[in-house]
Structures are given as C-alpha cells and as structure tokens.
C-alpha cells in the first residue's frame, strides 16, 4: 500500500560546531544504499516490508539502513493501522540540510543574485581581493558594469 503525504518537512541548519549531528547526517548520506532509500521514499511512504521488496533487499538490511537515516533525522516512522496490526510507514522528515562553515546561519546572507540575460556569454570572474575574516570575495564593479549587468 502506497501512502502519499503532503506535510511540511523540516529544514536543518548546522554550523561546524554541531559535530555529533553533522557526523550522523554525513554518515547517513555517505552510503549509496541509504541514498537509494531516500530516492525511493521521495514524495511517497512505504512500510518496511514494501521498501525491502522494492529495493530487492532483506528486511533486516533495510531496517538497519532505515534506523541510521531515522537517527540522522532525515526520515520518520509514521504509525499506520493495517490488517496485520500496527505498521509503521517510512517517510521523509527533512527537506534540506544547510551547513555553514563560518559561524553564520542565515542562508540569505550568503546568497547573491545577479540577473544575466539568456544568451549572454560571461567570462570567468576575476577575484581582486579576499577578506580572510568574513570569507567573502570581492569583485571589481567595472567588470560587472562592462557586462551590462549593473
């Protein structure tokens, strides 16, 4: 039985200070079988038996990998009544993971948007200096003006 959930999922934000949690997330997504499980359950929910059958793996192996993904906070188990008793469906619990390497946790702080018309050929940007404290790069304003972007 396939169940489709449309629930708002969590977004995780970490800095390098979150050693234990980062290790769990990194370990969870480092394994190709666990990444395959995440692809399978994207937008859908499966029981452990259904997932094991879909992936052609033993239930014990599937259960092992599901446990690691659950402990990392990437998936959740949702109780679901069935003919055989209470069953738990495996579902996504995380939409995205953001890791910040320099203390800040604001995604917007690091996003810069530059509109470039389609078909415009843009040569590689030339870095003119780097502020080592903030990890920001600075580019010459005349370079962008010459492209007609600014």
List phi, psi (to 5°) of 110: -100, -5
Q: What is the pLDDT of residues 86-135, one digit of tens each?
A: 778 888 777 777 777 665 555 555 444 444 444 444 444 444 444 444 44
Q: What is the pLDDT of residues 24-61, one digit of tens each?
A: 888 888 899 999 998 888 878 889 999 999 999 999 99
Strand partners, 77: 90
- Pair of tokens at residue 29: 């997504």
Q: What CATH number labels 10-98? A: 1.10.10.10
16 in Cβ contact with 22 (< 8 Å)? yes
Q: What pLDDT shows up at residue 55?
A: 92
Among residues 27, 29, 7, the alpha carbon closest in space to that of 76 is found at 7
Among residues 43, 34, 84, 39, the alpha carbon closest in space to that of 62 is found at 34
CATH 1.10.10.10 in the chain, residue ranges = 10-98
Q: What is the pLDDT of residues 70-80, one digit of tens each?
A: 998 888 888 87
């Amino acid at each position: 039985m396939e169940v489709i959930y449309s629930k708002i999922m969590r977004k995780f934000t970490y800095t390098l200070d979150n050693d234990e949690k980062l290790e769990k997330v990194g370990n969870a997504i480092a394994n190709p079988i666990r990444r395959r499980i995440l692809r399978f359950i994207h937008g859908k929910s499966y029981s452990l038996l259904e997932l094991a059958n879909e992936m052609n793996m033993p239930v014990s192996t599937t259960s092992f990998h599901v446990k690691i993904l659950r402990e990392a906070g990437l998936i959740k188990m949702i109780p679901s009544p069935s003919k055989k008793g209470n069953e738990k469906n495996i579902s996504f619990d995380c939409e995205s993971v953001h890791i910040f390497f320099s203390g800040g946790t604001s995604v917007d702080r690091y996003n810069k948007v530059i509109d470039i018309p389609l078909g415009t050929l843009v040569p590689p940007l030339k870095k003119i200096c780097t502020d080592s404290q903030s990890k920001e790069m600075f580019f010459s304003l005349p370079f962008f003006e010459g492209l007609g972007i600014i």
